[in-house]
Structure 1
Amino acid sequence: MVLEGNALYRNAVTAGALGFVTFGWDAGVLGGVLQTPSFLEAVGYPNTTITSMITSAFLLASWLGCIIITIFGMKMGRKNWIIAGEVVQIIGTIISATSYSYGQLIAGRVFIGVGNGFCTSLIPVYVAEMAISVPKRGAAVNLMICSAAGGIALAYWVDFGMTFASGQAVWRFPVAFQVLWSLVTIAFLLPNPDTPRYYYATSQEAEGDATLARLYAKPLADRDVARSKSDILASIELEKVATAELRLKDFFYDTSDLQAARRIRTGVILVGIGYMIGTDMIYYYLSTIFQSYIGLPAKVASAMSAVATTVLTITNFLGVTFMEKFGRRTWLIAGAIGQTLFMAIFTGLMSSPGAKTGAAAASMLFGWIAVFGPTWGPVPYVYASEVMPLRYRHIGFALSVSAQWLSAFLTTFAGPIAIADTSVGWKTWIWFLVFNIIAGPYVYFCCPETRGRTLEEVDLIFMSDRLHNTSAAKQLEHTASLSSRSSDDVEQAEAAIPKDEKTSD
């Protein structure tokens, strides 16, 4: 049976969500087994530096996967790269689960990371580009991050359950289980086409027409389908006219007609900040933080880690439910304020170790996670997938995610080493506090609002005056007149564009 309409889009979202469960599982599964005797025995009782290498190799390899997508992303399409990513992850998982040395485990984690880079670069793009409903788009991309949180939580719960087992299965079974998530992701994605925007951008008009008609479950001649096609083609035409090539200088000060470089820069910095606030340091080492730094018993630390990641999943779902109630900027600024408060108190408590302060620090960590869940967890992904121009969307989003992996690598590799150094110790958390503090101002001054616009209408926010008189711009403006928007959205979008960086002729 050929899927179409809502059934086709649900299948695309389900495939993407399962792909991000895979990402979450990979990100969380080692965190719960790093301190188990069977794991330590299998990999030769690694010191802190080697343990950091084991966990962070996945992150650096994910960055490499993103860079590959920026270079070759248009060659195979969104769908085929995602499938390739899952296959590479399966290979890496087999290598990891059969490891009897930390070298082999690191090699396996590199394969997993490269595949993960393919998937995390293109799954949100795929889901966003398959959306024909603007309100559903943000929630659907948000659901990807929620699914990643669910994958982390599931991994920690399985890790906790395996603490009651014995032998090598304690860590090998959770690691090997990732293969199932990859296989199910492939099974859901195979019946789907690629996105209509990808087909049109690569001059595959017949395939684009067929996919667009399937998504609307209407003939191509239908008014809604024809208008959507016209908008996509108009956006492509604008980009051809306005943006010949990305110029290096535009990444610093962009005066081009559609500000492609500025839009990429905005997404890269936003996602990078989102992972310099302590995200991966917390989730990769939850059990270690609870056990070694806060002083909880091993089984209690494992259970607390599972509960904490469950809190993350629940709050992520709240974000999915209410994503469109507030603007992207509102979610991010409010989240930055809340996270800063919890991180500041947590850092202060970590400076005075003890049973009572440890318990209080754990509660602050839970508070930070609850605020992060619906705000800085998913919204940078949603925003970065929306703000990029179509021609460079695979490059812009892949570079944004690559900033995530570089930030995550830096924090997960250097963080534990710094904390273990008695001359640094708790002061490491000040680094993360600083980025929590600067997150809000960055969004306020640099990120225009994108809520309520189609992906093509986002071009209008950044378009120079010269382009507004073109037929392509007028095609987009017919569905994006300011009178149909809420005044808050318009004012926020305009206010967030610095006057001296608005494009000039």
Structure 2
Amino acid sequence: MPMKLNPTLVLWGVRMGFMSYGWDAGVLGGVLLTKSFQSAMKAPDATTTAMIVASFLLASWLGCVTAASPWSDRVGRRIWVMAGAAVQIIGTIISASSYSVGQLIAGRVLIGVGNGFVVSTGPVYVAETTGTVKQRGPLVGILMGFACVGTACAYWIDFGFTYATGQVVWRLPVAMQIIWSLLCIILCFPNADSPRWYFLQNRPDEGKIVLQQIYEDNTLADKVANEIQTELKQEVGETLRFTDFFYDRSETKAATRIRDGVVLVGVAYLMGINMIFYYMTTIFQVYIGLPATTASVCSGAATTLLAIGAFVGSIFCEKGGRRKWLLWGSALQSVFMIAFVGLLAAGTKATSSAAAAMLFGWILVFSPTWAPQPYIYISETMPLRHRHTGVGLGMSAQWLMAFLTVYAGPIGFANVGWKIWIWFAVFNVIGFPYVYFFLRESRGRSLEHMNELYNEKLAVGSGSLSPSEGEGSVKAEESVVEQKV
């Protein structure tokens, strides 16, 4: 018999894992230009600085790919999340005690690998232990909100430490990441794994016990258990072939779903978000021309805005569906980013201030749309047998594209100036046609009814409801557990 599962503890444990991710995304951005950091790292040049920052991103890609490998599904969602948090703690200790670029990069590589484990399996763990369809999207999306909170908190802590002196100015903010990783382990440890994982590992008795703990209603738990087993039967023999990623002939369209998720997340992180938040203080201070203190305040305000927007987009993601949020986001972001590029190109003091306003406008739109929605989409549309692979590869696209932008960004600034932003403007525009022509609306379906979204024939004779009934297929389930969740 597995340990008991408390969905609330699982949710908060994974949230702390995402706080750790956000903290790392923000903490270096506010200390790179401080005298203490420059002294400890011996005044690194632009290329070295880019490698210090971007090593975390490339390592996160490696962590995601590792967690997405075929054999990794034997481990389970819970173990991957806790292992990732433990590796992050080791990496943080090394980073906070660094006195050379090599040691700092080594520490950040470990943090990144651990982060890859957490962010690729955490959303799956939450999605598979959430009791209601209506709450699944918001609860997964809010993970990104907590990542944004971590970024905002790190920036404000950095700002506060700018009034201190000595090595504590950057070492203590970096070390504080341990708090979130430790909380992640403590909260996840007492719990069982996802019920879907137990069924996937041919341990249905344990899966049913966990389902009963989630729903507190044996009849409903049995209904969901039957649907999980039906889904697994539909996916028997559905192997991933390389050619299927280009022309998918399978019934469940597993390769198509993974491909769509990878491209979706990749496009999201080529829109410029990591470039903006890793170098936000530098952008405001060096490229827009704001005073150092004003640049720090603007950075903190921008990250706070991102966090608020991510929560808003997650809470209301069921209004209109995933596609509409993404379509509106791409359209409005394109307007703000194109205006930002044009104002930077003008290069006057007045246009620089207007460029800062356009950047805030872009963040205001991105935060509730392209920040949380891709996480929600990939965590719920992947088939059960390949869910860990699909989400892991989707998240790996995030880190690979983030590495590309964060590493190339400072070099691009140094060589082509404002023109580097044209790259990001292009991908903000590309997002609209991609979502419109390739993505299907997943709102209102249980995880076990996603296969029917890609092939209606799977609903026939399987005991499943038809795709047209997706919105109402879980009303009984929601009435039982909605107030609990």
2:15 aligned partner: 17
Matches within 5 A, 1:88-487: 88-218=87-217, 222-241=218-237, 243=238, 245-421=239-415, 424-463=416-455, 465=457, 467-469=458-460, 471=461, 474-477=462-465, 480=466, 482-483=468-469, 485=471
CA contact (8 A) 1:4 1:215 kept: no
- List gaps (5 residues or longer) in structure 1: 487-505
Cα distance in 1, alignment partners of residues 103 and 72 from structure 2: 29
AA partner of residue 22 (structure 2): G
After superposition, the Cα gap between the structure-2 partners of 1:333 and 1:481, relative to the gap in structure 1 and judged at 3 Å, is closer
Cα distance in 1, alignment partners of residues 265 and 327 from structure 2: 14
1:36 aligned partner: 34
CA contact (8 A) 1:61 1:114 kept: yes
The total of aligned residue pairs comes to 470
Please state how far the C-alpha of 1:464 moved relative to its aligned partner. 6.2
CA contact (8 A) 2:26 2:155 kept: yes
CA contact (8 A) 2:123 2:140 kept: yes
CA contact (8 A) 1:315 1:373 kept: yes
Cα distance in 2, alignment partners of residues 483 and 461 from structure 1: 11
AA partner of residue 476 (structure 1): S
Cα distance in 1, alignment partners of residues 446 and 375 from structure 2: 16
Cα distance in 1, alignment partners of residues 188 and 470 from structure 2: 36
CA-to-aligned-CA distance 1:179-232 (integer Å, 9 cap, x gap): 0111111111111110000010011122211111110123xxx32111100011
What TM-score do the two structures reach when normalised by structure 2?
0.95
What TM-score do the two structures reach when normalised by structure 1?
0.91
Which of structure 1's runs of 4+ aligned residues deviate more than 3 A?
2-5, 483-486
CA-to-aligned-CA distance 1:320-364 (integer Å, 9 cap, x gap): 221111210000000001100000000001112222111111111
User: Secondary structure of 1:255's match?
Assistant: coil
CA contact (8 A) 2:339 2:358 kept: yes
Q: Percent identity?
A: 50
CA-to-aligned-CA distance 1:418-466 (integer Å, 9 cap, x gap): 1111xx111110000000001011001000000000011111011264x
Cα distance in 1, alignment partners of residues 471 and 95 from structure 2: 51
Matches within 5 A, 1:68-79: 68-71=66-69, 72-79=71-78
Cα distance in 1, alignment partners of residues 109 and 249 from structure 2: 39
User: Secondary structure of 2:250's match?
Assistant: coil
Please state how far the C-alpha of 1:468 moved relative to its aligned partner. 4.5
Cα distance in 1, alignment partners of residues 87 and 332 from structure 2: 38
Please state how far the C-alpha of 1:475 moved relative to its aligned partner. 2.2
CA contact (8 A) 1:4 1:216 kept: no
CA RMSD in angstroms comes to: 1.4
Please state how far the C-alpha of 1:483 moved relative to its aligned partner. 4.8
